[in-house]
Amino acid sequence: MNYFSHALPFLSDPYFVAGTSLPDWLAVVDRGARVRAKNAESLATHPNRDTAAVARGLLQHFRDDSQFHKTQAFAETTLELSAAIRRVLPADSGFRPSFLGHVLVEVLLDWTLAEDNSGGLDAYYHALEAVDPRAVQDVVNRIAAHDTNRLAPMIVLFCRERILWDYGRDDKLLLRMNQVMRRVGFLPLPEGVQELFPAARQLVRHRQRDLLEGIPVR
């Protein structure tokens, strides 16, 4: 699951929405500031409502991912996309095709949900724009492995860039996937990979219900 999939049922609670986004934000800007469920649990009942909401959103993210990644649909869909990518990149015998298959399932699931929920992406970004980025960062610094000063600027940039809209266009999706590739140390993807995206969209759309088995998305 990705940003929108985690947040969709909770768009009326901005700080909860921010909490669901935290692990993905930190993976981008500060991997060392890892947040764990056991450290967040103590804040889930904090008297400050916003602090508690961030912690509960984070815990929701972990619950969602635990369920999502163990579904048969996720394993099958990731495997099918990875195999298609390997056919386009026959010389790539490393982990890159499998990693890309995994990421595509998640981001394209976000896009199917965005298509099904008119106004949902706008509501998601409006919710995030309503939070105080430094307040969210302060919560992370109470539960993370080490303090970070990178998260608050990341939240501002994330709201400005609105990258989730790019998942709906194949050319922009390739651009975003190559940003991910660079971030994790893989070589950029050639343009030929973009030809797989329409079929990948159809596959994720077809498996959407099974991928979300047991996960609240409405």
Tens digits of per-residue pLDDT, 38-86? 999 999 999 999 999 999 999 999 999 999 999 999 999 999 999 999 9
Task: Please check whether residue 193 lies inside any domain of the structure.
Answer: yes
Task: Please check whether residue 216 lies inside any domain of the structure.
Answer: no
Q: What is the pLDDT of residues 16-44, one digit of tens each?
A: 999 999 999 999 999 888 898 999 999 99
Q: What is the pLDDT of residues 112-123, one digit of tens each?
A: 999 999 999 999
Interacting residues of 144 by C-beta distance below 8 A, sequence separation 6+: 26, 33, 34, 35, 39
Q: How many whole angstroms separate alpha carbon 15 and alpha carbon 137?
A: 11
pTM for this structure?
Answer: 0.94
For the chain, count helices (H), then strands (E): 11, 0
Please state which of the ranges 22-36, 83-97, 146-160 shows the lowest mean pLDDT: 83-97
pLDDT at 94 over 90: no
Task: Please check whether residue 218 lies inside any domain of the structure.
Answer: no
Calculate mean pLDDT across residues 105-128.
Answer: 97
Look at the chain and report how many structural domains it folds into: 1
Task: Please check whether residue 77 lies inside any domain of the structure.
Answer: yes
Task: Please check whether residue 149 lies inside any domain of the structure.
Answer: yes
Q: Give the tokens for residue 112.
A: 């199917």
Burial of 198 (0-12, 13-18, 19+ CB in 10 A): exposed
Domain of 76, in residue numbers: 3-211
Q: How many whole angstroms separate alpha carbon 3 and alpha carbon 69?
A: 15
Q: Would you state the pLDDT for residue 218?
A: 60
Q: Would you state the pLDDT for residue 34?
A: 86
Calculate mean pLDDT across residues 166-185.
Answer: 96
Task: Please check whether residue 217 lies inside any domain of the structure.
Answer: no
Task: Please check whether residue 176 lies inside any domain of the structure.
Answer: yes
Q: Would you state the pLDDT for residue 141?
A: 96
